[in-house]
Structure 1
């Protein structure tokens, strides 16, 4: 049975969690802040998926230039248990790409991130810190339980993968929501139809996808997924967010992050 959301579930909840995370990034440093705000199952791409506890657990807790980031785009499920945030970041005062964080509400009502990563996107025109984020429009699809939602998302991903194996651009255009955003290149995150088409044109014409994981909200209206991506001459990973609507599941976020293979 689908679970009803808490009264007034609003993306501002995950925005507040992201801002608290960012504040601790300055106060505690990268290692301690990332571990403090991560759920036990949280992963990062380094460059392949690894649990954050394993990735940061072996790293020394040492001084580093300030890492600063702020959310400018956010979403939350109707059930109030899953959401995401996205925005620009700087490291040592220099641009450091555009982050994407997936958040899960914990049994105590607090929020922990379950995925954190980003693309090298330009943010020279991004709104400054303290700006009010843009909120993704809520889902309009029927309420279903998380298991049924994830099964439907898996079907949508399988269809996308089959089509993308021969024509990635057409495959994406068939499933992208009108308000979707795409990242992966060094260009600013694509948030208009024209920019989305330009971002798709920067990708390989044919891409193979293999799902690795993800989860759906308890209300069955929002889901995130990640997996492997491969194309002629390269490989990487995808990270996505899906939203249900009257027309079915549609992509509202997609990033492809290439893996730089070591030189022989």
Structure 2
């Protein structure tokens, strides 16, 4: 797994009084997402994505690429309105890492579900480090402006970042080993009861019954290979991403891991299928 935040930088953030307070409010990342979405309409897609992405931010096009490189090379042009709003969100206890997800429309028509991972910057503001989504149906998604469902804080003890990094790597390895032969069994022990799972054309699964149905739509066996991510300064929340391959297809995964008393469990899991190569 690559691209984890350097330990020295993490310890420096941990020493910052503003980030050392417990029980950070997820409203911070919800507000950042809404401001990003508002700028999408005011500034256009290119300029808003450049403004709100961190220097290290990535997205899949179809493989990992830095957002600043991708959007920086694109010409400025008018686009139909892209609108999105958060309906599920969470934040680390130290207030340095968070996420939101929700429905999106393009030119007034449903276009799928987005997922954004946010990292607090040295100046106290927020920038996203990952942005992506899947073309899933909206289903009965809450309307724009609704209060998002919030992920509960982690219940596990705080830990130093290097220990958390090792633990997340181990959790990813256990999941990957099981998923090579049985995806459903692999996720059964790795997911939180309140986990959200998406990747098909169906609305994101947010209940145990819906999650079971969503996992059943996935290939029976998937080969996961980690590529990167980062861990929160208090060792309670992490995001990871990597390659995913299965018989007849490939793509990528993105996950949110939460550290509870019984170990690291997945709060959010997304698989994005890459389009087949052009003939």
Q: Which TM class, normalised by the smaller chain length?
A: over 0.9
Do residues 192 (structure 1) and 224 (structure 2) align? no
What pairs with 1:224-263 in structure 2 (closer than 5 Å)? 224-263=239-278
For 1:215 and 1:26, locate their aligned partners in 2 and report how far apart those are by CA, in whole Å: 30
Count, aligned residues: 264
Corresponding position of 1:158: 173
Corresponding position of 2:154: 139
SS at match of 1:74: strand
Do residues 14 (structure 1) and 29 (structure 2) align? yes
Please, which moves more after superposition, 67-76 or 254-263? 254-263
For 1:53 and 1:126, locate their aligned partners in 2 and report how far apart those are by CA, in whole Å: 31
Do residues 99 (structure 1) and 77 (structure 2) align? no
For 2:207 and 2:38, locate their aligned partners in 1 and report how far apart those are by CA, in whole Å: 31
Corresponding position of 1:181: 196
Q: Deviations over 1:110-132 (max 9, x none)?
A: 00000000011111311111100
Contact 2:22 2:93 (8 Å CA) reproduced: no
Corresponding position of 1:210: 225
> Normalization by structure 1: what TM-score?
0.98
Q: Deviations over 1:138-164 (max 9, x none)?
A: 100010022211110000000100000
Corresponding position of 2:125: 110
Please, which moves more after superposition, 246-255 or 122-131? 122-131
For 1:225 and 1:102, locate their aligned partners in 2 and report how far apart those are by CA, in whole Å: 10
Q: Deviations over 1:150-209 (max 9, x none)?
A: 110000000100000010110001110001010000101101111001000000000000
Corresponding position of 1:82: 97
Do residues 45 (structure 1) and 60 (structure 2) align? yes
Do residues 221 (structure 1) and 236 (structure 2) align? yes
Deviation at 1:5, TM superposition (A): 3.0
Q: Deviations over 1:219-262 (max 9, x none)?
A: 10000000000001110000000000010000010011111112
Contact 2:118 2:128 (8 Å CA) reproduced: yes
Deviation at 1:63, TM superposition (A): 0.4
Unaligned runs of 5+ in 2: 1-10
Do residues 32 (structure 1) and 44 (structure 2) align? no
For 1:203 and 1:146, locate their aligned partners in 2 and report how far apart those are by CA, in whole Å: 32
> Normalization by structure 2: what TM-score?
0.92
For 1:157 and 1:181, locate their aligned partners in 2 and report how far apart those are by CA, in whole Å: 17
CA pair 246-7 structure 1, distance change in 2 beyond 3 A: closer
For 1:33 and 1:214, locate their aligned partners in 2 and report how far apart those are by CA, in whole Å: 23
TM-align CA RMSD: 1.2
